[in-house]
Chains A and B, each alone.
Chain A
Amino acid sequence: MAKNVNNNYNYKSDFPILNQKIRGKPLVYLDSASTSQKPANVIASEKEFYEHYNANIHRGVHYLSEKATQMYEDAREKTAKFVEAKSEEIVFVRGATEGINLIAATFGEQNVKSGDTILITEMEHHSNLVPWQQLAARKKAKLEFVEINTDGTLNLNDAAAKLEKQPAIFSFTHVSNVLGTINPVEKLTKMAKKRGVSVVLDAAQSAPHLPLNFATIGADFAAFSGHKMLSPTGIGAVYGKREHLENMPPYQTGGHMIKTVTKQTATWNDVPWKFEAGTSNIAGAVGLGAAIEYLEKIGMKKVERYNAELVSYCLEELQKLPFVTIYGPLENRCGVVSFNVGDMHSHDVSSILDEEGIAIRSGHHCCQPLMETLGVTATCRASFHIYNTMEDVDKLVNGLKKCKKVFKL
């Protein structure tokens, strides 16, 4: 049986959506790495914004516009503090995908030349692969991959060897969305910086669970999504060192991002607004601010510890099932547990669990090249956040036993 480790407080009650039955069973949500659920204070913050403060930001001189601008910029400040960065280094975007596209289309476009190499890893999500692949094709550059070890960790010797050849950019994920591997970010960044290589960090899976300090990590850029860290969808952030943001061309052009416009020319706004063309997702940013407040009230150290406890309990219990294969390292991992059940396809597992009110993800998790490396077409993935309990893991285990029965494994 599950032990209670979470200081007797059940965060589940803060998340209205979890208080419902799915197919007659209480919902067990194990798909947070895809998108997390939202606490009541986040939902209330968006509602409050639209009911009391909605107006366009930055240009209005009326009360509501000033208020909305202040709320939007407060959210930026909270986001910056959350990752130990400065406000002007935080650009609001739709999410990590748009963030990495922004970096590739501006800094990448400017700094990658024909014959250069862009280095990523075999464990990247498509969002940190396809933008670089397309940039490489445009520039006639080469895309190279740091290999992974059989235990699902990154091969650091291979990373060192490939960094030795001085690629133009090294972009890698902090935490794998399939293997759960926590990469040694500071070490990798140091290795890259020693060779003068620019570093981009995909923090989509780490921002929800780990205390982040972009200043200490030392990467040139990072990107993360709000919706995986309890905030609404459609909001996320790019972190960029100020000197880079200053020197980069804009991503999109139009309103908000300009200083002056004549019929034939335009000059750009200061950073970070230079990268925020058009009307931003203002309510979303306010929601992100509320999510950060919620997480910080618990404390990211505690969020990290609790997640680690859930993940290791899940690993422990799944290892007891001889018909289950687990992917990824058994320690130093975060957020997700990927596995397969006998000769079952992950969709069939997911369908059977769904009948029990259990939501997991199945398929290739936007990591087709990684699936190829692992030699599978798909996996099941259970992922956790603060609202999950040890009891959820027990229910998952029971669900998997049902799969075994139905498929006569």
Chain B
Amino acid sequence: MSSTSRGARTALAAGTVAALAATLAACGGQSLEDKGAAHGKGGGKGEIVVGSAVFTESKVLAQMYSKLLGAAGYDARIQTLDNRELYEPALEKGQIDVVPEYASTLAEFLNAKTNGAKAKPVASGDIDKTVTALKKLAGPRGLKVLPAGAAADQNAFAVTTEFAAKHKLKTLSDLGASGQKVTLAAGEECETRPFCKPGLERTYGISVAGIDPKGVGSPSSKQAVKDGTDQVVLTTTTDATLDNFGLVLLTDDKKLQNADNVLPVVNAKSAGDKGIEAALGKLTDVLTTKDLITLNRKVDAERLKPEEVAQTYLEAKGLLKK
């Protein structure tokens, strides 16, 4: 081995290490800067981070919030977080500033967080009472609850069209009266949640033989009902893919479900000003449940991008200039 070639190799190795280090410094530096900026803007105006969960409706709502805030002069960007367990604490800390939320679900989430998992439910079918309860729980955590609109995404139960036709089902009461024993594709928590298995049994007299824990409104849950493995699936009123699985919703005629109206929740310190409330209020005022279904359909069935769907909706409603 000649000393020159070894020298060349050493130089090459050193170069590789240096390049790696430079990449590293660039990446690391950037991330730290981002973080610094995120913290720096905590008290300021300017930048607003809109939190989004990973499901379609949340993505579209976050896009619309971000666009409206952008139009109102804020520097808005979207940060996706997997679930409420992650984004709610981030919202309290001001790492994110605004989240599209659901009145009852958030009220019960905060209720469980504050008063323990077995706390008495605070949410009900009455949206005003639910929002009042939510405000009481959110305030001490530094969260500001903005007014709720008409659009709601409630839990709902669906069966196949054949099953509904065979047993003449339109409502959950019909299902109770039919005396059918059903297995329910839902989340594990359905076993204990008042709106789920206990409510179906007590309020509607439906005999739930068992719960198939495939997730709330997940494709596998819907597929299980389509295949006949399960008979009923727990999903939401704004589910746009029910048609694809040949499913229909049964009406919640005895108002078992809570008032899960869409509302913006903000960090009171970093995003509590009137400008944000006014910008988001414009959407809350016009958005309806039907709109949510259509928006979800655009993304989940027609496969348009959430960003474009949000833009077109806002333009169509005159909330955003073309």
Decide whether A and B assemble into one complex. no
Chain A residues packing against B (C-beta within 8 Å): none
